[in-house]
Structure 1
Amino acid sequence: MRFVLLLMALAAWGSPARAEELVKASDMETIAALARGFGSATIEKGDTTYVKGRIDGTLYAIFFYDCDAEGADCKSIQFYASWDDAVVKPDAIGAWNREKRFAKAYMDSEDDPVLELDVNLRHGVARANLEDTMDWWRISLEKFKSDVLEL
């Protein structure tokens, strides 16, 4: 009898996590819908498919990586923003990368500042987890503009 009760308790304890649907990188529409909770977001199709978004006036993209040959079954995403012809505060990129844990910055080949945040979704994540990651992206964009760029 105790064994049956133990099995029932274990099943009840583990079921909420299993019942929650995981978001994977191939769920582009779900990712776009989550991004819309922070501003505008559309799925753009061309040579590559990506989400084009805007948070507090800042344009960004979500790119899909590690996809199969047809561009489906993706395993990771990358949040990406760049600022054309922006002036960067002296030594700000290095300081950003030393002090920040998530989004990383660099100057691209045209000397424009870039901010990126890579997210592994190989086995999926809870919707709330990805929404929290998007909020970290929002915060990173805000802090990057105030700490690194001279706007």
Structure 2
Amino acid sequence: MRFVFLLLALAAFGSSARAEELVKASDTDTIVDLARGFGSATIEKGDTTYIKGRIDGTVYAIFFYDCDAEGADCKSIQFYASWDDAVVKPDAISAWNRDKRFAKAYMDNEDDPVLEMDVNMRHGVARANLEDTIDWWRISLEKFKSDVLEL
């Protein structure tokens, strides 16, 4: 009898874990809703669809990648921020890329600093995981402004 109860308990636990809905990169409404938990965010449509957001005064974008020909069924997203005409502390970009794990930095072709963070969502991610990823983006923006930029 204990064995049957244990099997039933394990089956119930396993099915609830599997029942959690995964967020895919194509779920723009869910992604923008999660981003709004950290500041403003809107879905922008034009030649491409992207999310425009603002966290603590910093404007950023979430771009969709690895999509099919119609721009659907995307497999990854990229968080992106740049600062026009910002002054960068000497050697700060190299130090950032050496010391930080989640977001990479570089100077674009107009010598503006850029911060990017790619997220693989090929098979979907748990909602809580994506929310945590957006929080990592928030932290990265904050640290980038304090560690790299001379504001």
TM category (shorter chain) comes to over 0.9
Q: How does 1:43-54 map to 2 (within 5 A)?
A: 43-54=43-54
Deviation at 1:39, TM superposition (A): 0.5
Task: Give per-residue Cα distances to partners, 1:123-143, cap 9 Å, x unaligned.
Answer: 111111100000000000000
Q: Which residue of 2 aligns with 1:76?
A: 76
Unaligned ranges ≥5, structure 1: none
Give 3-state SS (helix, strand or coil) of 1:16's partner: helix
Deviation at 1:7, TM superposition (A): 3.1
Give 3-state SS (helix, strand or coil) of 1:116's partner: strand
Aligned residues: 151
Q: Which residue of 2 aligns with 1:86?
A: 86
Tell me how far apart the structure 2 counterparts of residues 2 and 111 of structure 1 sit (CA, whole Å).
Answer: 68
TM-score, L = length of structure 2? 0.96
Tell me how far apart the structure 2 counterparts of residues 5 and 55 of structure 1 sit (CA, whole Å).
Answer: 49
Give 3-state SS (helix, strand or coil) of 2:136's partner: helix
TM-score, L = length of structure 1? 0.96
Q: Which residue of 2 aligns with 1:11?
A: 11
Task: Give per-residue Cα distances to partners, 1:8-51, cap 9 Å, x unaligned.
Answer: 13212212211211111000010001000100000000111000
- Could you tell me the percent identity over the aligned residues? 89
Alignment RMSD (CA, Å)? 1.1
Give 3-state SS (helix, strand or coil) of 2:63's partner: strand
Amino acid paired to 2:122 = R
Q: Which residue of 2 aligns with 1:108?
A: 108
Unaligned ranges ≥5, structure 2: none
Amino acid paired to 2:24 = K
Tell me how far apart the structure 1 counterparts of residues 86 and 109 of structure 2 sit (CA, whole Å).
Answer: 14
Tell me how far apart the structure 1 counterparts of residues 96 and 117 of structure 2 sit (CA, whole Å).
Answer: 13
Task: Give per-residue Cα distances to partners, 1:59-97, cap 9 Å, x unaligned.
Answer: 000000000000000010000000011100000000000
